[in-house]
Amino acid sequence: MNHRREFLYGLGASLGAVALSSLLAEDTSAEEKQKPLAPRDGHFPAEAKNCIFLMMEGGPSHIDTFDPKPKLKDLHLKEFVREGQQKSAMESGKRYYVQSPFKFRKHGQSGADMAVTWEHLAQVADDLCFFRGCQVDSVNHPTAMYQMNCGNRFGGDPGIGAWVTYGLGSVNQDLPGFLVLPEVSYPQGGAANWSNGYLPAFYQGTPLRPSGSPILDLQPPKHVAPDRQRRNLDLLTRMNQRHAQEHPEHQELSARLESYELAFRMQTEVPDAIDLSGETQKTLSMYGIGDDATDAFGRKCLLARKMVEKGVRFVQLYNGTWDSHDYIERAHGNLVRGVDQPIAALITDLKDRGLLESTLIVWCGEFGRTPDNGVRGGTAYGRDHNPNAMIIWLAGGGCNAGHTIGATDETGMAAVEDVHHVRDFHVTLLKLLGLDDNKLTYYHAGRFKQLSQFGGKVIEKLIA
Exposed/middle/buried for residue 283 (C-beta within 10 Å: 0-12, 13-18, 19+)? middle
224 and 332 fall within a common domain: no
Centre a 10 Å sphere on the Cβ of residue 30 and count the other Cβ atoms it contains.
Answer: 9
The answer to whether residues 391 and 128 touch, using CB atoms and an 8 Å cutoff, is no
The CA-based diameter of the chain, rounded to the nearest angstrom, is: 79
Considering the entire predicted model, what is its pTM? 0.85
Chain CA centroid to CA 57, Å? 10
At residue 117, does pLDDT exceed 70?
Answer: yes
Exposed/middle/buried for residue 151 (C-beta within 10 Å: 0-12, 13-18, 19+)? buried
Res. 189 pLDDT band, cuts 50 70 90: very high
Q: Which residues pair with 385 in a beta bridge?
A: 369
Chain CA centroid to CA 400, Å? 19
Q: In CATH, what number is assigned to the domain containing residue 443? A: 3.40.720
pLDDT at 339: 98
pLDDT at 140: 97
Domain count, the chain: 3
pLDDT at 1: 40
**DSSP letter, residue 365:** -
Q: What angle do CA 400, 315, 121 make, to 5 degrees?
A: 50
- Where among 273, 295, 314 does a domain terminate? 273
265 and 400 fall within a common domain: no
Please state, in angstroms and rounded to a whole number, the distance separating the CA atoms of residues 319 and 181. Answer: 9
267 and 282 fall within a common domain: no
Percent of the chain with pLDDT over 70: 77
- Where among 273, 299, 315 does a domain terminate? 273
pLDDT at 36: 85
Res. 81 pLDDT band, cuts 50 70 90: confident
Q: Pick 98 or 23 by higher pLDDT.
A: 98
208 and 223 fall within a common domain: no
Please state, in angstroms and rounded to a whole number, the distance separating the CA atoms of residues 159 and 39. Answer: 19
101 and 201 fall within a common domain: yes
Q: What angle do CA 451, 422, 316 make, to 5 degrees?
A: 65
Print the domain residue range for 24: 1-28
103 and 9 fall within a common domain: no
The answer to whether residues 127 and 396 touch, using CB atoms and an 8 Å cutoff, is yes
Res. 15 pLDDT band, cuts 50 70 90: very low
Res. 291 pLDDT band, cuts 50 70 90: very high
At residue 122, does pLDDT exceed 50?
Answer: yes
| Residue 334 CB contacts under 8 Å (≥ 6 apart), including other chains | 293
Centre a 10 Å sphere on the Cβ of residue 114 and count the other Cβ atoms it contains.
Answer: 24
| Residue 388 CB contacts under 8 Å (≥ 6 apart), including other chains | 135, 368, 413, 414, 415
| Residue 170 CB contacts under 8 Å (≥ 6 apart), including other chains | 37, 39, 176, 177, 178, 311, 312, 313
The answer to whether residues 343 and 305 touch, using CB atoms and an 8 Å cutoff, is no
At residue 30, does pLDDT exceed 50?
Answer: no
At residue 298, does pLDDT exceed 80?
Answer: yes
At residue 327, does pLDDT exceed 60?
Answer: yes
Please state, in angstroms and rounded to a whole number, the distance separating the CA atoms of residues 382 and 373. Answer: 6
Q: Pick 233 or 146 by higher pLDDT.
A: 146
Mean pLDDT of the chain: 86
39 and 170 fall within a common domain: yes
pLDDT at 272: 66
How does pLDDT run across 428-459, given as a tens digit for each residue? 999 999 999 999 999 999 999 999 999 999 99
Res. 242 pLDDT band, cuts 50 70 90: confident
